[in-house]
Amino acid sequence: MKIWILDDPSGNGCIEGFLANDPQLKLATYRRTSEQNATLGLSADDAKHDDAIQECEEPTENPPEDSVGKDEVLTFKVQCSNCNAPSETNMKLVDIPHFKQVVIMATVCSVCGHRDSEVKSGGGISPKGRLYRLKLTHPTDLSRDVLVSETAAIRLHELDVESMGGTLGGRFTTLEGLFLAIRDQLIGANPFITGDSITAEEKQGQLAKTIEELQKIAEGKRLNILFELRDPAGNSYLQNLYAPEPDPEMEVIDYERTDEENDELGLKDMHV
């Protein structure tokens, strides 16, 4: 009997198991050697690394609020979420036309190359929730800017795709980028659904079809799709291409939050 071994120092390798506890598979984790760390670009002098981490953890005095310019980019030290090496995050306040101010943060690790970005609302929770309904009728709709807050949920009716609030995190992108992000998230959670070992039955499955349809929508090959963006905090945004005039293909609804949504936002526990 032949034994096939996959040794991946990065920890990103994976072999599909046909059972929850596949008796033919054995998984073992180990601490990387210095040579493996050097190959991955993670090796550094311990003293310098410790000093850098200590420097990263030291609190810095924030500048007065009135000294932060509108177009100023703030930089602060963090640790990379991927390799734990010292890194820097850039933060900038951005005014979205016909909406409100948001905070955009971006991190690029110079050690492992990991990139991360996050968008947060610059204000508080709006008095009402907001629901956007857009009918995608032309490929230009894919270039619309969209802000998905950390409390927002999306729905694509024709694909029967729906995300829970906070699933996508905070991001500021285009509709095309959003659809590709949803596709990548589905593939990331199910890495073998697009591999060369996928069976004909799996290829015809609902998940594989959904990933394929998301790709077609992002490329503008499938239109007449109803897209919904629902945010109980009212901090999400979908660009109106006809602003300040009403958009004939988009409906914007401000609604009263349900008790469940108020509870999830922590508003029922506030006493002011």
DSSP line for the chain: --------TTS------SSTT-TT------PPPHHHHHHTT----HHHHHHHHHHHHS--PPPPGGGS-TT-EEEEEEE-TTT--EEEEEEEEEEPTTS-EEEEEEEE-TTT--EEEEEEESS---SSEEEEEEEE-SGGGGG-EEEE-TT-EEEETTTTEE--TTSS-SEEEEHHHHHHHHHHHHHHHSGGGSSTT--HHHHTSHHHHHHHHHHHHHTTSS--EEEEEEETTS--EE--TTTTSPPTTEEEEEEPPPHHHHHHTT-TT---
Residues 107 and 80: beta-carbon distance below 8 Å: yes
Residue 105 lies in a domain: yes
Domain total for the chain?
2
CATH number for position 103:
2.20.25.420
Residue 145 lies in a domain: yes
Pick from 104, 121, 138: which residue ends a domain? 121
Q: How confident is the model at residue 46 (pLDDT cuts 50, 70, 90)?
A: very low
Q: Are residues 95 and 212 in the same domain?
A: no
The tokens describing 193, both together, are: 């659904």
CATH number for position 228:
2.60.120.1040
Q: Are residues 134 and 241 in the same domain?
A: yes
Residue 271 lies in a domain: no
Pick from 78, 100, 121: which residue ends a domain? 121
Residue 95 lies in a domain: yes
User: In this predicted structure, what is the pLDDT of residue 51?
Assistant: 46
176, pLDDT greater than 60: yes
Mean of pLDDT values over 156-162: 90
272, pLDDT greater than 60: no
Mean of pLDDT values over 134-154: 93
C-alpha–C-alpha distance, residues 61 and 227, integer Å: 44
The tokens describing 145, both together, are: 């800017």
pLDDT digits (tens, 9 = 90+) for 67-93: 555 678 889 898 888 888 888 999 988
Residue 55 lies in a domain: yes
Q: Which domain holds residue 180?
A: 129-264
Q: Are residues 178 and 93 in the same domain?
A: no
Q: Are residues 91 and 205 in the same domain?
A: no
Residue 42 phi/psi, 5-degree rounding, is: -105, -5
Residue 215 lies in a domain: yes
Q: Are residues 189 and 104 in the same domain?
A: no
Mean of pLDDT values over 61-71: 55
Q: Are residues 76 and 116 in the same domain?
A: yes
Residue 53, C-beta contacts closer than 8 angstroms, at least 6 positions apart: 79, 86
What predicted TM-score, i.e. pTM, was given to this entire model? Answer: 0.67
Q: Are residues 160 and 115 in the same domain?
A: no
